[in-house]
Amino acid sequence: MKLEMKDSPGQLVAALTPISEYGGNIIAVIHQREPESPSDTLGVQIVLEIAQERLDALVAAIKVQGVSILRLGEERLLYRQSVIMIGHLIHTDIGDTIGRIDATGFAEVAELNVHMPAIAEPSTALITIKATTRSEMGRALDILRSVAAEKGLLIVEPLAGAEA
């Protein structure tokens, strides 16, 4: 969820307390205070797990604290990283490679674009991974590097730093 609250002491705690009270599990809290901002509000992103049947009560409890909910959704993977893989991707089972990332529970392959010049030629793929945290992105990339070494594939990274 993405929240907007007054930039004053205690507001973040007031927004987070109901999550605990309603049995939610906080995975990540992302906020950056900008001292030069003319606004007296603060944007905060929270990644959490909560039973669906408790969500409406949680939303109401957060609003009672004077916190606005700007976005509420299923998106839990906040960090993106794109790499290029080169080699015989199809012959070495690209599905297995993707599956090893997706099986982690903290990361998944979000995009895959493959170029295959000819059946006997190496393929090139642009792979975009999404992960819950910067640390988990590092773990996912380590898995991808290990799979690439095992299968004789080349990884070109990073195209850009991990983005939130």
User: Where do the domains of the chain lie?
Assistant: 2-71, 79-156
What is the predicted pLDDT for the residue at 144?
Answer: 94
pLDDT truncated to tens, each residue of the chain (164 aa)?
888 888 888 888 988 999 999 998 887 777 766 555 566 788 887 878 888 888 889 999 999 988 888 878 765 556 889 999 999 988 888 889 998 998 887 888 888 999 998 888 999 999 999 887 888 899 999 999 999 999 999 999 875 555 55
φ, ψ (nearest 5 deg) of residue 83: -135, 160
What is the reported pTM?
Answer: 0.54
CATH fold group of domain 79-156? Alpha-Beta Plaits (3.30.70)
CA gap 94, 97 in Å, rounded: 5
Residues belonging to the chain = 164
Dihedral sign for Cα atoms in the order 6, 11, 16, 19: negative
CB contact set of 135 (below 8 Å; sequence gap of 6+):
none
Same fold, 2-71 and 79-156: yes
pLDDT for 9: 87
The CATH class of the 2-71 domain is: alpha beta
DSSP label at residue 138:
H
Distances (CA, A) of 15 to 24, 32, 51, 58, 133: 12, 16, 18, 10, 21
- Alpha-carbon distances, residue 4 vs 17, 42, 58, 87 (angstroms): 15, 6, 16, 46
